[in-house]
Structure 1
Amino acid sequence: MALTALNVVSDPIYADAADVAKAMQPEEALFCFSADRLKARLALFADGFPGTVSYAVKSNPSREVVTALSQAGLTHWDVASVHEMALVHSIQPAAHFHYHNPVKSRREILDAYSKYGCRRFAVDAREEVAKIAAIVGDDRSVELAVRFVLPRDRATAAHDFSTKFGAPEHIAVELLQDIQRRGYVPVMTFHPGSQSRDPNVYVRHIEAAHRIAKAAGVHISKLNVGGGFPASYPLSKPAPLQSYFSLIAEATTRFFGKGTEPALECEPGRGLVANCMSLLTRIKLVCSDGDDIFLNDGIYGGLMEFMQAPVLQPPYRVIRGGKVLEGPSKPWKVFGPTCDPLDVLPAKLDLPAGIRDEDFIEFGTLGAYGIATSTMFNGYGNHAVIPVDEVFNG
């Protein structure tokens, strides 16, 4: 996939989070964002994936990220709501949307179709097909993507996507036939699960897509292999991205036949944006008679996913006076700023024994599901996004 870059971005003001901490002395937690790091990651997908690359907006809906991707030439966007469409449309009016949330209200379908020009909708139920058809009528440019699901046979992902959405194979066959009978463009899609560590899970789904299409007697022009592409965390080190791309291309040709393969699409979220942001927090209190510290952010803020999936523990470092603090370490129990006793990280962190109030702790690799899942509980969570040249990833 080739991208055409638009040279619109101004140079970042700060070198990194340590520079931000020294210059700004921020009282509130904030995110440091490297547009250059994001664009470099997008280039890996654009150059390596054998098809169209879209961005799963849900993973990071900040204007800074959407703007940088748009400026780098991305034109396709995987969205889960019309609110995400509105955001992207305000930045890129000619955006192409893949509305891949399989459950949508009638008003959401109408707004997506009429207001934002969306012509791709995911479905996993007969009722959803009928609902969309009642709104779009005989518009044969509409693509309906059947989202199918396979039984989960082993833990290959940090978050299992098989429990909420996706039609089993026999229903997927019926949906494809119904879509073709109604005259819409049949497409197929799946999601292997977030932070998929085994690239062979894509092969298994591509084989199933061919099996379903063959049983339905339907030719699919496009196959969306979903997201799931992993980022690198201290406790979750994935295979290189290129191994995913190569296996996906090889499997598509092997199962569908050379020259008759569907056009491929993907919709990375975490794998695209995780390493473009870090979270800069500040210590509010160090309990000298124990091992407790309190930060100005926590699980109701930028660290929510760490609580949900401890394997995605972000890398971290302490900053004092604009420099990384070294020295002997000890385990610390880390609480967030809210009044809720649940606001505590799921594991102790090894931090310098000499940390003190007003030191900063930077958590890296939080470009995905950091700012996206932050709440305003107790008034915390209104994170600024500060541009930097380099962002910490451990």
Structure 2
Amino acid sequence: MAQTARKTRNNIASEDAMAVSLAASPDDPVFCFSATALRARLAVFHAGFPGRVSYAVKANPSTEVLSTLSGAGLRHWDVASVHEMAAVQAIQPGAVFHYHNPVKSRREIFTAFHRFGCRRFAVDAREEIEKIAAIVGTASGVELAVRFVLPRAQGLSAHDFSTKFGAPEAAAAGLVAMIARLGLTPVLTFHPGSQSRDPAVYVRHIEAARRIVDAAATPVKTLNVGGGFPASYPLSRPASISQFFEAIDTATTRCFGDIGRPLLECEPGRGLVASSMSLLTSIKLVCSDGDDVFLNDGIYGGLMEFMQVPELQPPHRAIRNGATLTGPVKQWKVFGPTCDPLDVLPVKLDLPLDLREGDYIEFGTLGAYGLATATRFNGYGCHAVVPVETVFTGA
């Protein structure tokens, strides 16, 4: 016989977040942010990665995240736009930018170079090299990072980053040689795909980097291994981050030891910031005679990536009066608040039988691509960021 659902108090850090959200605006979802967790994760990268660490601002450009990373000593920033540069520079005037979006307008290049002092630009086409050289000159100290791409190895990452940007090996070698002839500094960079689960994907790319250098007959002093470092989700359990660092270190020495090991760089987004935020939503309606539940956030808000890649389903829990609800569960179909019928999670969630209007559903591991991709569709998408000491990750 099923036991009655019971509430247990786990001294959860989100109690503080709930109190703040209820006092401020009970109808809006809240991101709970732990600066302590983010600083600890950055320390793991600084201690373990065998090179320079930057941050992929696109993953979460919130003031809270940028300020925490800056205060913890981060000085290099991977950016995709001059807007991201402006956000970082407002917090850290001396920031060093790596403009690693391979396609930029002439005005964006000019602004990045002259206003923000950017001296690193990514390229994957001859035309982009010519455009940058014409704007910044060839005696500017600018580095051009040639982004190369390999055919995707199935199953090694959740997001395929091989379809939009990146030059194949032979073309990348030609670009490296062209940059050197122009008097600019060539760098090599790649992106193995977001939520890379296996360190072998980095090894494949490092081996390709050596082949590119040999074909170009041009050494590179810096190799940027991109982002792709994973977080842990219930349906996506990657190798430990230390295994990634060790594999990158070993492969670089093996592939480049005879000609001089390049300086390594990485630009984590998800792998750095995901576990520092959770999303606290509230229930607007429960259809007790069926299996439908309606939240105040959904796929047009903080849960957009879950809709795109169900593998990245965040951990979740139900909360009432500051206590986690446990006991018998059933599968609920979870809708967001908008009028669009597409605003429904891609899978049903196991949630308590006795859900009520006003209960909370908290989704963990949403520090990456939660706040960053939220829209204002139907007027929703207003997310406060509330500080907590520890944050729910489902671990």
Short-chain TM bin? over 0.9
One-letter amino acid of the counterpart of residue 112, structure 1: A
The separation in 1 between residues aligned to 2:15 and 2:330, in whole angstroms, is 22
Please state if 1:37 is matched with 2:37: yes
The separation in 2 between residues aligned to 1:113 and 1:248, in whole angstroms, is 31
- Give 1:257 shift: 1.1
Structure 1 contact 283–295 (Cα < 8 Å) conserved? yes
One-letter amino acid of the counterpart of residue 340, structure 2: D
- Give 1:154 shift: 1.6
- Give 1:330 shift: 0.2
One-letter amino acid of the counterpart of residue 320, structure 1: R
Please state if 1:20 is matched with 2:39: no
The alpha-carbon distance between structure 1 residues 178 and 23, as it changes in their structure 2 partners (threshold 3 A), is: closer
- Give 1:138 shift: 2.3
1:219 counterpart residue number: 219
Aligned to 2:97, the other structure's residue is in SS state: strand
Deviations 1:111-157 (A, max 9, x none): 00000000000000000000000000123410000000001132211
2:5 counterpart residue number: none
The separation in 2 between residues aligned to 1:210 and 1:20, in whole angstroms, is 49
Deviations 1:181-234 (A, max 9, x none): 000011000000000001011001000000001110001000000000000000
2:283 counterpart residue number: 283
Structure 1 contact 16–389 (Cα < 8 Å) conserved? yes
Structure 1 contact 329–350 (Cα < 8 Å) conserved? yes
Deviations 1:217-273 (A, max 9, x none): 001000000000000000001111011001101101101115711000000000000
2:387 counterpart residue number: 387
- Give 1:345 shift: 0.1
Structure 1 contact 22–321 (Cα < 8 Å) conserved? no
Please state if 1:311 is matched with 2:311: yes
The separation in 1 between residues aligned to 2:105 and 2:39, in whole angstroms, is 34
Structure 1 contact 18–319 (Cα < 8 Å) conserved? no
Structure 2 contact 12–323 (Cα < 8 Å) conserved? no
One-letter amino acid of the counterpart of residue 17, structure 1: S
Deviates more, 1:158-167 or 1:146-155: 146-155
Q: How much identity, in percent, do the aligned residues show?
A: 69
The separation in 1 between residues aligned to 2:138 and 2:49, in whole angstroms, is 33
| TM-score calculated relative to the size of structure 2 | 0.95
Structure 1 contact 30–384 (Cα < 8 Å) conserved? yes
Aligned to 2:152, the other structure's residue is in SS state: coil
One-letter amino acid of the counterpart of residue 357, structure 1: E
The alpha-carbon distance between structure 1 residues 23 and 68, as it changes in their structure 2 partners (threshold 3 A), is: closer
- Give 1:24 shift: 3.8
Aligned to 1:350, the other structure's residue is in SS state: strand
Please state if 1:180 is matched with 2:180: yes
Deviations 1:339-388 (A, max 9, x none): 00000000000000001100000000000000000000001101000000
One-letter amino acid of the counterpart of residue 294, structure 2: F
2:370 counterpart residue number: 370
Q: Where in structure 1 do 4 or more consecutive aligned residues deviate above 3 Å?
A: none
Please state if 1:130 is matched with 2:130: yes
- Give 1:19 shift: 3.0
Aligned to 1:77, the other structure's residue is in SS state: strand
Structure 1 contact 18–324 (Cα < 8 Å) conserved? no
The separation in 1 between residues aligned to 2:139 and 2:284, in whole angstroms, is 58
Structure 1 contact 15–389 (Cα < 8 Å) conserved? no
Structure 2 contact 146–186 (Cα < 8 Å) conserved? yes
The total of aligned residue pairs comes to: 381
Aligned to 1:223, the other structure's residue is in SS state: strand
The separation in 2 between residues aligned to 1:245 and 1:229, in whole angstroms, is 10
Deviations 1:168-193 (A, max 9, x none): 11110110010000000110000000
- Give 1:389 shift: 0.6
Structure 1 contact 78–98 (Cα < 8 Å) conserved? yes
One-letter amino acid of the counterpart of residue 162, structure 1: S
- What is the correspondence of 1:307-386 to structure 2 with a 5 Å cutoff? 307-386=307-386
- What is the correspondence of 1:21-170 to structure 2 with a 5 Å cutoff? 21-22=18-19, 24-25=21-22, 26-170=26-170
The separation in 1 between residues aligned to 2:12 and 2:258, in whole angstroms, is 48
- Give 1:288 shift: 1.4
The separation in 1 between residues aligned to 2:134 and 2:208, in whole angstroms, is 30
Structure 1 contact 282–295 (Cα < 8 Å) conserved? yes
1:7 counterpart residue number: none
One-letter amino acid of the counterpart of residue 119, structure 1: R
Q: Please, which runs of 5 or more residues in structure 1 have no aligned partner?
A: 1-13
The separation in 2 between residues aligned to 1:246 and 1:140, in whole angstroms, is 35
The separation in 2 between residues aligned to 1:393 and 1:244, in whole angstroms, is 21
1:293 counterpart residue number: 293
The separation in 2 between residues aligned to 1:374 and 1:293, in whole angstroms, is 21
Aligned to 1:91, the other structure's residue is in SS state: coil
Aligned to 1:286, the other structure's residue is in SS state: strand
Structure 1 contact 140–183 (Cα < 8 Å) conserved? no
Structure 2 contact 12–322 (Cα < 8 Å) conserved? no
The separation in 2 between residues aligned to 1:101 and 1:216, in whole angstroms, is 23
Deviations 1:71-119 (A, max 9, x none): 0000000000000000000000100000000000000000000000000
Aligned to 1:325, the other structure's residue is in SS state: strand
The separation in 1 between residues aligned to 2:140 and 2:260, in whole angstroms, is 22
The separation in 2 between residues aligned to 1:289 and 1:348, in whole angstroms, is 16
